Structure 1
Amino acid sequence: MSDNISREVAEAHWSKTKNLMLITLAIWAFFSFFIHFFVVPMNNIVILGFPLGFYMAAQGSLIVFVVLIFWFAARQNAIDEEFGVAED
């Protein structure tokens, strides 16, 4: 982080960054662990000929992870711009 920002601004920036990180980790944990715990009941739901549990295990979680990466990067960039510490 730049040396030209005050301590209060740096703490506010870290607070928002930490909250974003915790939200991202919660979403990641949900789609990494909790969805897969309920694969058997979700297999009763069929989408495009595939059981939902199978789809979430094979493709759905991976799609969510890729979207999550881009969402996190965009939100973090917005936070950095808000506090004047964005990269060029």
Structure 2
Amino acid sequence: MSNKLKKYWKTNLFYLLLLLSIWFVVSYVCGILFVEPLNSIRIGGFKLGFWFAQQGAMYVFIVLIFVYVYLMNKLDKKYDVDEQ
């Protein structure tokens, strides 16, 4: 494998690990471990810990999908492996 493709995949794996780490923190840490401290904060009448556990992790995951698509399109163009 060429050095260029190795750098491409290394950057791709970095993006994956970074975005999955963010999702882990939001879904597991905020939704399970810190649920009690977050429940003292209310947004729209709902406890923040409950919101993270029920809906927040899904919203963050969807946003992270769009961030990943943006980053990968940028990376594909940088290494000239885009589809166009």
TM-score, with length taken from structure 1:
0.86
The alpha carbon displacement at 1:8 in A equals 1.4
3-state SS, counterpart of residue 84 of structure 1: coil
Which deviations, in whole Å up to 9, do the C-alpha atoms of 1:2-21 show, x marking residues without a partner? xxxx7111111112111111
Which deviations, in whole Å up to 9, do the C-alpha atoms of 1:28-82 show, x marking residues without a partner? 2112211121111111011111111111112111110100011011101110110
**Any gaps of 5 or more consecutive residues in structure 2?**
none
**1:12-23 equivalence runs, <5 A:** 12-23=7-18
Q: Distance in 2 between matches of 1:39 and 1:80?
A: 39
Question: Equivalent of 1:61, from 57, 76, 79?
Answer: 57
Percent identity of paired positions between Structure 1 and Structure 2: 36
Alignment correspondent of 1:3: none
TM-score, with length taken from structure 2:
0.89
Q: Distance in 1 between matches of 2:14 and 2:83?
A: 21
3-state SS, counterpart of residue 82 of structure 2: coil
Alignment correspondent of 1:44: 40
Q: CA RMSD in A?
A: 1.3
Aligned pair 1:30/2:30, yes or no? no
- Max radius of gyration: which structure? 1
Aligned pair 1:73/2:69, yes or no? yes
